[in-house]
């Protein structure tokens, strides 16, 4: 069938089963927007900033497991999208971003709104393309989606010059991908898996260390089965919250810089780390030489480059977590003795009794942890929780009772403030029957607050719970602990009126200072089904605890900080 390059882009998106595209038009991408206007295969959501478009596509992908798609124009449209690409890249999120480019004849001439998009995005995409022949476009679109979702997922950029989108050509969308240089390995080596299982059976203090790869690889159920069957204590990374379910007695909690005591002690004392889809990030390991010092390490990862990158691994297994864990279950089924790790579980339970994750509640001032627990009590499994970056993010990860993978959406790797709100918009579009709450801070929310307009226009009822401490709280916390309280540029006492701001953009605003007001506001927000800002005044100097100071050993945790 003959059609324009712009139509080909749309047809490919439709053929890939994408139902929502987030984007922002501009000169170089106008042909594609014209084709979007004429098609009915997908909905286009006009965000009010390209960064938000990419985060929204990212949130959509994280919530649904499908490839998210964003569309931007050349030059500033593209550069605004870079933070979104980097965010998705660091967390391995499947995404295709289409950017317009100046016509081929103008490339390299410093044309209006020209920037080297493939050059800039090379280090923050899994792969990228500059389309320089129309005949390549269908194949490139097919490959882009395939690369984005296969192997270790990631964002792919397709940069399309304006003359290519205008040109007419024959469109045949390929049914399969033929890339001799790209063949991700999904099946783990069976001999290695067997050896790893033998090590598990022989261990006295094994520990399951679960990362975001389990979520991305849809291996949650299998991992839970493995843990339950062998009765192995489990820790989750920030990216894996929800995999085990908060009430599973085997789950110790989150580990790392703000992990709870028993999780970090478990990692420090285990004799066998079973790492599934985790990558030994510095926020998880603390001081590397002290990390899991007494343990042999099994490392299951789809990306060979993650294995041996930071720690020496005894049992490397390259493969898809779901496939490898399924095989492990098969092998372990008959050989496992669930009483074997009882003594180990007892030790860890005692650690947990000694220093449970806790906070001191108050009747005078709202505690952010209480707010998060309250949302959990009210909505539990029904909600998808997104977050921005900072203290609120850590409290949400610590205190929300997550029950399933994909329930918790945050920028873990890049740590992008401003991610939560647009990601929530994407998540809500992808999962309309869920209540989507963005737990955010008074710093982060301002970084993409223009999305109020988007959410109001498209009637996307995202509830933004702003834990307002009038500080860039996490930086302030570090200044308190490590910079002798020199609060350099972290005091956010000067603020907008969040309630009025939300109302001005077509949403609802709430000012909340007490528990009662919070309950009322949350109930109302759920009922109203409209985008809202819930401005929740919380204790100004609350700290995220426990804390492993940067570069310190996991077992050296600051457990309390009394001085307010």
485 is a contact residue toward other proteins (CB under 8 A): no
* Neighbouring C-beta atoms of residue 329, cutoff 10 Å: 17
- Reported as type and span, the H/E element at residue 34 is helix 30-38
Interface with other proteins (CB under 8 A), residue from 37, 39, 112, 122: 122
For 277, the 3-state DSSP assignment is coil
User: Among 15, 30, 107, 118, which residue interacts with other proteins (rule: CB under 8 A)?
Assistant: 118
SS3 178: coil
User: Active-site residue among 66, 162, 205, 296?
Assistant: 162
Could you tell me which residues come within 8 angstroms of residue 42 by beta carbon, excluding any fewer than 6 positions away?
Answer: 10, 13, 14, 18, 19, 20, 21
Report the residue count for the chain: 564
Q: How far is the CB of 561 from other proteins (least distance, A)?
A: 36
First and final CA of the chain: distance in angstroms? 70
Is 474 among the catalytic positions?
yes
Closest contact distance (angstroms) between CB of 316 and other proteins is 11
> 342 CB contacts (<8 Å, ≥6 apart)?
231
Residue span binding other proteins (CB under 8 A) among the ranges 167-175, 177-185, 258-266, 513-521: 177-185
Mapped onto helix, strand or coil, the DSSP state of residue 181 is coil
Q: Is 551 in the site for other proteins (CB under 8 A)?
A: no
Q: Is 309 in the site for other proteins (CB under 8 A)?
A: yes
Q: Which one of 303, 503, 511, 519 is in contact with other proteins (CB under 8 A)? A: 303
Q: Which of 113, 167, 287, 515 is catalytic?
A: 113
Q: How far apart are CA 488 and CA 106, in angstroms?
A: 46
Q: Which range binds other proteins by CB under 8 A, 166-174, 179-187, 402-410, 419-427? A: 179-187
Task: Please give the Cα distance from 48 to 228 (Å, whole number).
Answer: 46
Select from 40, 109, 181, 493 the one that contacts other proteins (CB under 8 A): 181
Least distance (Å) between residue 58 CB and other proteins: 21
475 is an interface residue for other proteins by CB under 8 A: no
- d(CA 395, CA 538) in angstroms, rounded, equals 13
**# residues contacting other proteins (CB under 8 A):** 18
401 in contact with other proteins (CB under 8 A): no
In this structure, the number of other CB atoms found within 10 A of the CB of residue 544 comes to 23
Cα 403–chain centre separation: 16
State the nearest-atom distance from the C-beta of 93 to other proteins, in Å.
17
CB of 76 to other proteins, least distance (A): 22
Q: Where are any strands of DSSP class E within 211-329?
A: 234-236, 251-254, 272-276, 296-301, 315-318
Nearer to other proteins, 143 or 236 (CB): 143
Active-site choice (7, 8, 16, 50): 50
Contacts of 279 (CB under 8 A, 6+ apart): 211, 213, 301, 303, 306, 309, 310
Q: Which residue has the tokens 């390995």?
A: 185
The 10 Å Cβ neighbour count of residue 534 is: 28
Residue 305 binds other proteins (CB under 8 A): yes
Of 63-71, 247-255, 302-310, 408-416, the window that binds other proteins (rule: CB under 8 A) is: 302-310
Q: Pick from 95, 71, 91: which is nearest to 23 by CA?
A: 71
Q: Could you tell me which residues come within 8 angstroms of residue 350 by beta carbon, excluding any fewer than 6 positions away?
A: none
Name the segment binding other proteins (CB under 8 A); options: 31-39, 176-184, 437-445, 517-525: 176-184
H runs (alpha helix) in 45-189: 50-64, 76-90, 117-121, 137-149, 162-166
- The least CB distance from residue 54 to other proteins, in Å, is 20
Q: Name the residue nearer to other proteins (CB basis): 126 or 345.
A: 126
Nearer residue to other proteins within complex by CB, 144 or 467: 144
Q: Is 182 in the site for other proteins (CB under 8 A)?
A: yes
Q: How far is CA 207 from the centre of its chain?
A: 24
Region near other proteins per CB under 8 A, out of 252-260, 267-275, 297-305, 505-513: 297-305
Catalytic residue, chosen from 1, 43, 112, 382, is 112
**Alpha-carbon torsion, ordered 376, 381, 382, 385, to 10 deg:** 60
- Contact stretch for other proteins (CB under 8 A) within 126-134, 294-302, 433-441, 514-522: 126-134
Interface residue with other proteins, options 308, 380, 415, 549 (CB under 8 A)? 308
Instruction: Give me the least distance between CB of 307 and other proteins, in Å please.
Output: 8
30 is catalytic: no
Active site residue 50: yes
Is-catalytic flag, 113?
Answer: yes
What are the catalytic residues? 50, 112-113, 162, 474
Residues that bind other proteins (CB under 8 A): 118-119, 122-123, 126-127, 130, 132, 147, 179-182, 303-305, 308-309
């Amino acid at each position: 069938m003959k059609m324009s390059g712009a139509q080909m882009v749309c047809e490919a998106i439709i053929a890939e089963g994408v139902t929502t595209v987030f984007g922002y038009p501009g000169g170089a991408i106008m042909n594609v927007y014209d084709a979007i206007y004429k098609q009915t295969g997908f909905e286009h959501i006009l965000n009010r900033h390209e960064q938000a478009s990419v985060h929204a596509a990212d949130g959509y992908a994280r919530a649904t497991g499908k490839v998210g798609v964003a569309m931007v124009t050349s030059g500033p449209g593209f550069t605004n999208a870079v933070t979104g690409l980097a965010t998705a890249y660091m967390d391995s999120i499947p995404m295709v971003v289409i950017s317009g480019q100046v016509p081929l004849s103008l490339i390299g001439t410093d044309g209006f709104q020209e920037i080297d998009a493939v050059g800039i995005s090379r280090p923050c995409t899994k792969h990228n393309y500059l389309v320089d022949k129309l005949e390549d476009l269908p194949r490139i679109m097919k490959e882009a989606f395939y690369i984005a979702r296969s192997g270790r997922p990631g964002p792919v950029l397709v940069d399309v010059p304006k003359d290519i989108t205008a040109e007419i050509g024959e469109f045949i969308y390929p049914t399969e991908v033929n890339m001799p240089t790209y063949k991700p390995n999904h099946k783990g080596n069976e001999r290695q898996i067997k050896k790893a299982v033998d090590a598990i059976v022989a261990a006295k203090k094994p520990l399951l260390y679960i990362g975001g790869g389990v979520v991305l690889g849809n291996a949650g159920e299998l991992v839970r089965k493995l843990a339950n069957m062998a009765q192995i204590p489990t820790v989750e990374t920030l990216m894996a919250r929800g995999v085990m379910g908060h009430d599973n007695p085997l789950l110790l909690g989150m580990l790392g810089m703000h992990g709870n005591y028993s999780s970090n002690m478990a990692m420090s004392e285990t004799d066998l780390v079973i790492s599934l889809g985790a990558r030994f990030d510095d926020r998880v390991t603390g001081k590397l030489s002290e990390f899991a010092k007494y343990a042999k390490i099994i490392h299951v990862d789809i990306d060979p480059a993650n294995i041996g990158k930071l720690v020496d691994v005894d049992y490397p297994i390259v493969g898809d977590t779901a496939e490898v864990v399924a095989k492990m279950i098969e092998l372990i089924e008959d050989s496992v003795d669930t009483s074997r790790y009882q003594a180990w579980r007892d030790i860890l339970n005692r650690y947990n009794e000694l220093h449970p994750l806790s906070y001191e509640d108050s009747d005078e001032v709202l505690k952010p942890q209480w707010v998060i627990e309250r949302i959990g009590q009210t909505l539990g499994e029904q909600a998808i929780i997104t977050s921005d970056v900072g203290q609120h993010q850590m409290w949400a990860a610590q205190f929300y009772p997550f029950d399933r993978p994909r329930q918790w959406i945050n920028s873990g790797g890049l740590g992008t403030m401003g991610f939560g709100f647009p990601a929530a918009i994407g998540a809500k579009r992808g999962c309309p029957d869920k209540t989507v709450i963005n737990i955010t801070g008074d710093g982060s929310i301002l970084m993409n607050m223009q999305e109020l307009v988007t959410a109001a226009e498209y009637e996307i009822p995202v509830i933004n719970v702003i834990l307002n401490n009038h500080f860039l709280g996490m930086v302030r916390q570090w200044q308190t602990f490590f910079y002798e309280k020199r609060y350099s540029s972290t005091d956010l006492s000067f603020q907008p009126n969040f309630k009025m701001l939300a109302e001005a953009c077509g949403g609802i605003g709430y000012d909340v200072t007490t528990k009662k007001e919070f309950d009322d506001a949350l109930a109302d927000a759920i009922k109203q089904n409209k985008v809202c800002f819930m401005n929740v005044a919380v204790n100004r100097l609350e700290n995220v605890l426990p804390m492993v100071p940067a570069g310190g050993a996991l077992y050296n945790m600051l457990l309390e900080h009394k001085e307010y």
